[in-house]
């Protein structure tokens, strides 16, 4: 009896514990039935006909055709869509923002990020200028930009993460997770693997640094920062500087047909002197008093005023996707906002994790087909070219021109890249 009571109490305690650690889910979107009622398509860019349409699909390759997300479906278009959840603040809470993204188009310039926004957002007008709190996710543009953005907005200013976090660049689904904790630490995960972590204080320039080098400190007179010194034991050998660089060739003789009157006075040619060793260089020895490079000591930075809520946002109420895409095909799915990293991990395992192998197999199959078609096309083209040969250089010349034109375009695109697809978008 007593034993039973004890174990019942233990079960109750366990259940309590479980409910205590189970986190809160602020928003979760798997884009199944009815998703269009939950999301608002913005009217931004509609007037100039550059607003792109979303396609509700699982894409060209997937691990489960019924598991759909939303995919950008038109090239050279702006995309802006958002959804709402009950307003909350992440003060004193962990915040986890997670989603999956797949760039089926072999993305060369475009974003794959999402934004969290405060309460005062007009979803119908949501666009590139709408102030946001957090922007997070991959961004690819040319060769220079292949990174995970993590922007925190404080007092109206966007602060980019200072550490370089490379993003995935293949054509498969990947899960991006940002965790902000109440101790002002953060982690960035890709596919449930931590890629970066640290302190919000250190990795964003939100506040001035806590410590700085003392500007009034001076290097002590006796500080030795020369690692090596000339060896006083090593002396220049006597007569070293008298050794000539070149000498006359000892075996040279005046050629028999040399005519002093016509050819000028004969002189023997010179050759490099094997004795000559270059200018004398004194040997160096390690300085026994070497102390390393001098640095001013760190002092408290008077500019620093702590903000214990450096990681927090008063109002979070919307999630938005706002992108410019040169080539469409970016597919978002399984968006999650929670305070529970363990739940997020499981959610990623049960969605992306469950389907990733099948998706990879489907992709490999699609690639194989594409390459086969490409080589078949190349063969027909070769035959066509052979037939065209008689038509002379005109066709060939225009071929060349085409090549040049596309080559130039590419170069220009890359040099225009600036630092990200969002910069590129702003230029338009
Ligand atoms: C939507 O995606 C599917 C799968 O890739 C594709 O077959 C279809 O043509 C797309 N629809 C539009 C309107 O782009």
> Ligand 1 mean position to 55 CA, how many Å?
6
Cα dist from 280 to 235, 239, 243, 287, whole Å: 9, 11, 11, 21
Q: Average pLDDT for residues 400-427, to the nearest whole number?
A: 43
Neighbours of 414 (CB within 10 A): 14
Ligand 1 atom with least separation from CA of 57: 2
Computed from CA positions of residues 290, 296, 299, 301, in that sequence, does the dihedral angle turn out positive or negative? negative
Half-sphere exposure of 107 (CA within 13 A, CB side): 33
pLDDT tens for residues 157-203? 999 999 999 999 999 999 999 999 999 999 999 999 999 999 999 99
Pocket test for ligand 1, best of 70, 73, 362 (most atoms within 8 A of CB): 73
What are the residue ranges spanned by the domains of the chain? Answer: 2-205+312-374
Q: How far is C-alpha 254 from the geometric centre of its chain's CA atoms?
A: 71
Binding site for an alpha-D-glucoside, by residue number, is: 113, 115, 132, 139, 322
Q: Is the pLDDT reported for residue 428 higher than 90? A: no
- Protein residues with CB under 6 Å of any ligand 1 atom: 55, 57, 59-60, 73
> Ligand 1 mean position to 374 CA, how many Å?
21
3-class SS of residue 414: helix
Computed from CA positions of residues 143, 147, 153, 154, in that sequence, does the dihedral angle turn out positive or negative? negative
Q: pLDDT band at residue 398, thresholds of 50, 70 and 90?
A: very low
> Ligand 1 mean position to 357 CA, how many Å?
22
- Burial degree of 111 (CB within 10 A; 0-12, 13-18, 19+): buried
> Ligand 1 mean position to 193 CA, how many Å?
31
The domain 2-205+312-374: what is its CATH number? 2.60.120.200
Ligand 1 atom with least separation from CA of 56: 1
> Ligand 1 mean position to 57 CA, how many Å?
7
Nearest to residue 312, comparing CAs of 188, 197, 183, 156? 183
Instruction: Give the global pTM.
Output: 0.72
Position with higher pLDDT, 253 vs 418: 253
Which element (helix H / strand E) includes 411?
helix 393-416
Q: Nearest residue CA, atom 4 of ligand 1?
A: 59
Among 13-27, 66-80, 296-310, the least confident range? 13-27
């Amino acid at each position: 009896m007593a034993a039973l009571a004890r174990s019942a109490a233990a079960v109750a305690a366990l259940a309590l514990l479980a409910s205590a650690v189970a986190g809160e889910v602020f928003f979760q979107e798997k884009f199944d039935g009815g998703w269009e009622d939950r999301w608002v398509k913005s009217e931004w860019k509609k007037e100039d006909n550059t607003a792109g349409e979303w396609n509700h699909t699982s894409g060209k390759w997937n691990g489960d055709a019924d598991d759909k997300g939303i995919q950008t479906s038109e090239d050279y278009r702006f995309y802006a869509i958002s959804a709402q959840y009950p307003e909350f603040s992440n003060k004193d809470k962990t915040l986890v923002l997670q989603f999956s993204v797949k760039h089926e188009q072999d993305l060369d310039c475009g974003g794959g990020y999402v934004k969290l926004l405060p309460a005062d957002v007009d979803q119908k007008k949501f666009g590139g200028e709408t102030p946001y709190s957090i922007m997070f996710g991959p961004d690819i543009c040319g060769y220079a930009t292949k990174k995970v953005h993590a922007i925190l907005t404080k007092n109206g200013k966007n602060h980019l993460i200072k550490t370089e976090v490379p993003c995935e660049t293949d054509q498969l689904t990947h899960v991006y997770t940002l965790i902000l904790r109440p101790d002002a630490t953060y982690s960035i995960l890709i596919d449930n693997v931590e890629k970066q972590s640290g302190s919000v204080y250190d990795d964003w320039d939100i506040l001035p640094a806590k410590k700085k080098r003392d500007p009034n400190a001076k290097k002590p007179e006796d500080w030795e920062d020369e690692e090596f010194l000339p060896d006083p034991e090593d002396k220049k050998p006597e007569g070293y500087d008298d050794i000539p660089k070149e000498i006359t060739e000892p075996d040279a003789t005046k050629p028999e047909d040399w005519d002093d009157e016509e050819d000028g006075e004969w002189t023997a040619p010179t050759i490099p002197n094997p004795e000559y060793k270059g200018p004398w260089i004194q040997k160096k020895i390690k300085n026994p008093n070497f102390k390393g490079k001098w640095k001013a000591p760190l002092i408290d930075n008077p500019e620093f005023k702590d903000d214990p809520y450096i990681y927090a946002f008063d109002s979070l109420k919307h999630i938005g996707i706002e992108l410019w895409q040169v080539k469409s095909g970016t597919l978002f799915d399984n968006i999650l906002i929670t305070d529970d990293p363990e739940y997020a991990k499981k959610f990623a395992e049960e969605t992306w994790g469950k389907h990733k192998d099948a998706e990879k197999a489907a992709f490999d199959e699609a690639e194989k087909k594409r390459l086969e078609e490409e080589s078949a096309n190349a063969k027909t083209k070769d035959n066509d070219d052979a037939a065209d040969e008689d038509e002379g250089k005109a066709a060939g010349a225009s071929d060349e021109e085409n090549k040049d034109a596309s080559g130039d375009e590419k170069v220009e695109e890359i040099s225009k890249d600036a630092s990200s697809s969002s910069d590129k978008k702003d230029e338009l």
